[in-house]
Amino acid sequence: MKRTIMISDIHGCIDQLNQMLHLIQFNSIDDQLILLGDYVDRGPNIKAVVDKVIELVTEHHAIALRGNHDQ
């Protein structure tokens, strides 16, 4: 059975995002990842988060929604 994984409010925290994906053992073959927005604003590494979101969408078929901080 395929898991549906939802993550929101990353806010530029690339280390925490990578740790979370590692801890849950994200696998794009077995999982559907849905990113619920708020990738930017406040955090220490916004560019790395945006790059990771793009990678997850283009290479791992994640769905990325836009949050209010991403407007």
Q: Where are the domains of the chain?
A: 3-70
Torsion angle defined by CA atoms of residues 41, 53, 36 and 3, in that order, rounded to the nearest 10 degrees:
-150
pTM over 0.85: yes
Among residues 22, 60, 61, 69, which one is catalytic? 69
Question: How far apart (Å, rounded) are the C-alpha atoms in residues 30 and 57?
Answer: 15
Is 42 in contact with 14 (CB distance < 8 Å)?
Answer: no
Quote the pLDDT of residue 45.
94
Report the topology of domain 3-70.
Answer: Purple Acid Phosphatase; chain A, domain 2 (3.60.21)
Quote the pLDDT of residue 10.
96
Q: What distance, in Å, lies between the first and last C-alpha atoms of the chain?
A: 34
Nearest to 54 by CA among 14, 23, 25, 19: 14
Over its length of 71 residues, how does the chain's per-residue pLDDT go in tens digits? 789 999 999 999 999 999 999 999 999 999 999 999 999 988 899 999 999 999 999 999 999 999 999 88
Quote the pLDDT of residue 68.
92
Catalytic residue list contains 11: no
Quote the pLDDT of residue 1.
79
Quote the pLDDT of residue 71.
84
